[in-house]
């Protein structure tokens, strides 16, 4: 299997909303974002699939070394072998990949965030930096587009947090800020025991309203000159925001299930942005 085949299979197997946005890109950009996404999945899977924190730390340390080695011209892992030509072509920097790994390391040592400011730092590493790299690959021409990409990445990550509240709690992680749990009088043990309440629903409405606000702010930041090149990000925004509205419409039943959209619906939402240019 070639490195290119490896990253393609990794991206396709994930079933992620991101994959559907990649389909409409020209081949060089599609191959670049697929390789970058495969790298992100590799390091994220370390946290989600390795049960021993010590082993996971060792694996992430290996990835830090592999990234440094790759930028020195000696990639070993197929994901990095596929990614390095794109790094040169699209200005992907070592610090950006190391930031993504740093965000994954936070998951091994931190399971709670005191306030939204602390959570935002985590989101910057695992989503904002990812958005920054993706915007370059998509064809960013204006510096202001970086700010748009960071804010959109934050909106995506908050949507993930809302969707995965129950699943994350089973892994011992609650990303909802402690100060906001206290604000709505929701106890951590209620979440881990999957206990719904009016208080929990109000807390989740608060989270969803913030995410919607960030989507609006991100879209307002996107320069007109880059709107065409950044269509893949807009496709993802359409898919993720539709998912958020589904969760809202279902009354935030996220403690016992993972709400998702069908592949056909994701493809339809992506196609609408591609063909009609609107979310």
In the numeric block, which tokens belong to residue 277? 């240019």
Q: What is the per-residue pLDDT across 14-42, written as a single tens digit (0 to 9) for each?
A: 667 777 778 888 999 999 999 999 999 99
pLDDT of residue 279: 61
Short-list 95, 94, 149, CA closest to 127: 149
Q: What is the per-residue pLDDT across 83-94, written as a single tens digit (0 to 9) for each?
A: 999 998 999 999
With contact defined as beta carbons under 8 Å apart, do 155 and 211 qualify? yes
Stretches in the chain below the pLDDT threshold 70: 14-15, 277-279
Full set of structural domains in the chain with CATH: 1-109 (1.10.600.10), 112-278 (1.10.600.10)
Alpha-carbon span 216 to 276, nearest angstrom: 19
pLDDT of residue 18: 74
pLDDT of residue 15: 63
Whole-angstrom CA distances from 28 to 4, 104, 120, 245 are 12, 28, 32, 33
Residues 6+ apart with CB under 8 A from 3: 35, 78, 79, 81, 82
Burial (0-12, 13-18, 19+ Cβ within 10 Å), 64: middle
Report percent pLDDT > 70 for the chain.
98
Alpha-carbon span 104 to 98, nearest angstrom: 10
């Amino acid at each position: 299997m070639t490195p290119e085949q490896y990253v393609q299979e990794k991206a396709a197997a994930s079933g992620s909303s991101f994959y559907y946005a990649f389909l409409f890109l020209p081949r060089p950009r599609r191959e670049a974002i697929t390789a970058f996404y495969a790298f992100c999945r590799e390091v994220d899977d370390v946290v989600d699939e390795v049960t021993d924190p010590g082993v996971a730390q060792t694996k992430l340390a290996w990835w830090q070394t592999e990234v440094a080695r790759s930028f020195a011209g000696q990639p070993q892992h197929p994901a990095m072998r596929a990614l390095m030509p794109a790094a040169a072509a699209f200005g992907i920097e070592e610090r950006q990949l190391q930031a993504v790994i740093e965000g994954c390391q936070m998951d091994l040592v931190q399971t709670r965030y005191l306030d939204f400011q602390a959570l935002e730092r985590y989101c910057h590493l695992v989503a904002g930096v990812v958005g920054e790299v993706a915007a370059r690959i998509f064809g960013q021409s204006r510096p202001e587009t970086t700010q748009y990409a960071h804010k959109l990445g934050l909106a995506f990550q908050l949507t993930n947090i809302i969707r995965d509240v129950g699943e994350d709690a089973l892994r011992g992680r609650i990303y909802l800020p402690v100060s906001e749990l206290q604000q709505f009088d929701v106890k951590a043990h209620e979440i881990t025991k999957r206990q719904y309440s009016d208080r929990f629903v109000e807390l989740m409405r608060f989270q969803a309203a913030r995410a919607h606000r960030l989507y609006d702010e991100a879209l307002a930041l996107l320069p007109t000159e880059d709107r065409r090149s950044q269509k893949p990000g807009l496709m993802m925004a359409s898919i993720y925001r539709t998912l958020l509205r589904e969760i809202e419409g279902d009354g935030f039943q996220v403690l016992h299930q993972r709400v998702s959209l069908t592949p056909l619906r994701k493809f339809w939402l992506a196609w609408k942005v591609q063909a009609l240019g609107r979310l």
